[in-house]
Amino acid sequence: METGTGEANSGEANTDEGGAAWRELAARLAGSERARALPPREAWAKIKLLGFDVDGTLTDGSLTFDGEGRLYQTFNVRDGFGQVAARRAGLLVAWISGRPSLVAQKRFEELGGQHCLLACRDKSAALRELRREHNLAREECCFVGDDLPDLPAWAECGLRVAVADAEPLLIARADYVTRACGGRGAAREVIELILAAQGHWDSLLESFTRDEWTRREGSQRLHGG
């Protein structure tokens, strides 16, 4: 018989209610060319902290500079909506990147996340500190990355996710590889899996159809745009 603390199981309270949404999503993702065994629903349902690398994960990895050296990055609006949904559902969202970027900082602030750690030299230490701050076990943390510098972050996480176009060595060590590429919906895919596993996805859709989010958040933040 499975046991655990009330806090650890809090994300699973609505598992029966959200079962249909989980099964539908899992079936859709099973068609991926990179399909592998999907981690069990219980693993996704435990997640309370969701961390993302930025370059190559929340963007496609391209870096564009103008003649004066200013950096331009492109973020996916659907990924943005997913992060707003995650925040509304009570997840902690963290961006952890080795690169300083005013563009990324601005985008993060628009989405209303909790932790934006740019110019981070040690992703493992950063996640360890977040775990300590929020009193989280490893299995309550997930990190999504695309390249070898993201490996240290995985040491602090129970669920390790690589985007579809990640470095092959990272893919080989991942618990799950997204169907979508970095900057092209990978973040949204992971968020949908977590919220569906926790039974939040159906209630999210219901609140959206009632237009609650538009009234509470305003259309710009609602769509992550």
Topology (CATH level 3) of domain 22-33+40-222: Rossmann fold (3.40.50)
Mean pLDDT computed over every residue of the chain: 82
Tokens coding 199: 């039974």
Residue with tokens 């219980």, as numbered in its chain: 42
| Per-residue pLDDT at 8 | 37
Summarize the confidence of residues 3-29 as an average pLDDT. 57
- The residue with greater pLDDT, 87 or 20, is 87
**Nearest Cα residue to 94 out of 160, 148, 159, 48:** 48
- Chain-centroid distance, C-alpha 220: 20
pLDDT digits (tens, 9 = 90+) for 115-168: 999 999 999 999 999 999 999 999 999 999 999 999 999 999 999 999 999 999
Summarize the confidence of residues 41-49 as an average pLDDT. 95
Task: List, in sequence order, every residue forming a beta bridge with 93; answer none if it has no partner.
Answer: 50
CB within 8 Å of 214: residues ≥ 6 apart? 222
Q: Are 160 and 31 in contact, with CB atoms under 8 Å apart?
A: no
Q: What pTM does this model have?
A: 0.80
